[in-house]
Chains A and B, each alone.
Chain A
């Protein structure tokens, strides 16, 4: 699967019309210890760029934006009990949700891993 990043620090791995979404290691480190995650429900239709959830740490709160449009097919419920998984594995076990029916043209607008690394240098 190919991996892409948004300027708001979400990552998306795509395979055809399916995708997995999470927040980048940079965003997770920036938030600090994560204490709470609010995610969209299965079956919800998300629109690219919409604020679709909240991630909170001890001292900060951050909105999650959907990097692509699609229908939520699965949510990472392991995060309900242990949101700290995002802090330790933001781009692995700390994935947020899976999507179907994504629009591949929206993926073209996102950054590749190399482009994202360059983008982080500018921050």
Chain B
């Protein structure tokens, strides 16, 4: 392997389980285990899978003025976020471009936990440090903290079988502090699969032990980044680097309504640009005819001319066809029933717009 790749504490565990290891965002990560992406994908939708997500980054921001400072630093309000709630948020540049998409966990008015993308840890830390006053202590816990995602409709049953009280488990996009296997853990009801699931944060020194104990629970199987990608794409969730980067705004990526730009006068880094510069492109979902995946950068043609560009695509195991996300020029008029053509190796396949998410039977937040 490439000696410069970073390893999570579980690299040897993955290899021992027969995982195929690949470089991802600078890390040596499992793309799949022995059963393969399709089986892991299906198992997550129907049962419960365990993902090693230790490569992602975690910060704490704590001290007087933390809520106000984060509110000004991030695109969605932190000031009106309640304690115990997780909120999907964006760190933007002055032009409204996305430096990173992240999740802010509010622990109190002066204490926050922030989860960021692996490849953006250094950039986010430097940028947040600049934006927060000296009274707010920003700490990078990424090297010492493990993150496991337990995802699938049976994930609640796994946690209760380990002694946690079902009624005490966090609700959708909430977090709580728990003791599991005798360790202090922060557990949130969040994830990247569209299914009911939890994200577990704890001291990385115990990562191997917790990994083995969770895999020893009846019904829990490991799943790799391959299934994580097919699961997130079926949900239309963006992946930083594919659907979002510093030249793309959250409005362009489809999160305009979430920002409530016209409903408040909140000022944050990037708000001027978002309020004054119209979006240049719009992210849309495409369903392709057949099973072939269209890859990043593939042109989407309408009547023979390029109308859009694929940002990511895959065969969607739960749907049985290929799906993709693509940016279309904001000035282009695209009829809802437009019939596109996507040129793949040796073939041209037809594609149509489809609402996101592609997969609408997810159990992440069932209507109760």
A contact residues vs B (CB 8 Å cutoff) = 32-33, 35-36, 38, 53-54, 56-59, 61, 63, 83-84, 87
Q: Of B136-144, B168-176, B285-293, which binds chain A?
A: B285-293
Q: How many A-B residue pairs have CB under 8 A?
A: 50
Report the minimum CB–CB distance from A8 to chain B (whole Å).
16
Residues in chain A near residue B295, CB distance under 8 A: 61
Q: Of B29-37, B107-115, B211-219, B330-338, which binds chain A?
A: B29-37
A58-B315 CB under 8 A given contacts A32-B36, A32-B37, A33-B36? yes
A36-B38 CB under 8 A given contacts A54-B345, A59-B31? no
A-B contact pairs, 10 of them (CB 8 A): A32-B36, A33-B36, A33-B37, A35-B292, A35-B293, A36-B291, A36-B315, A59-B31, A59-B229, A61-B295
Instruction: Decide if B367 is an interface residue (CB 8 Å cutoff).
Output: no
Beta-carbon contact of B292 and A59 below 8 Å: no
Residues in chain B near residue A83, CB distance under 8 A: 291
Residues in chain B near residue A61, CB distance under 8 A: 293, 295, 345
Question: What does DSSP make chain B's interface, helix, strand, loop or mixed?
Answer: mixed
Tell me the nearest residue of chain A to B31, going by C-beta: A59
Residues in chain B near residue A57, CB distance under 8 A: 37
Report the minimum CB–CB distance from A39 to chain B (whole Å).
10
- Find residues 203-250 in chain B having any chain A CB closer than 8 Å to their own CB: 226, 229-230
B contact residues vs A (CB 8 Å cutoff) = 20, 31-32, 36-39, 226, 229-230, 290-293, 295, 314-315, 317, 345-347
Tell me the nearest residue of chain A to B347, going by C-beta: A38
A59-B314 CB under 8 A given contacts A32-B32, A33-B38? yes
Beta-carbon contact of B36 and A56 below 8 Å: no
Tell me the nearest residue of chain B to A35, going by C-beta: B315
Beta-carbon contact of A58 and B345 below 8 Å: no
Residues in chain B near residue A33, CB distance under 8 A: 36-39
A58-B292 CB under 8 A given contacts A32-B20, A32-B36, A33-B37? no
Report the minimum CB–CB distance from A38 to chain B (whole Å).
6
Beta-carbon contact of B226 and A35 below 8 Å: no
Residues in chain B near residue A63, CB distance under 8 A: 345
Residues in chain B near residue A84, CB distance under 8 A: 38
Report the minimum CB–CB distance from B226 to chain A (whole Å).
5
Beta-carbon contact of B314 and A36 below 8 Å: no
How long is the Cα–Cα vector from A33 to B315 in the complex, in angstroms? Answer: 10
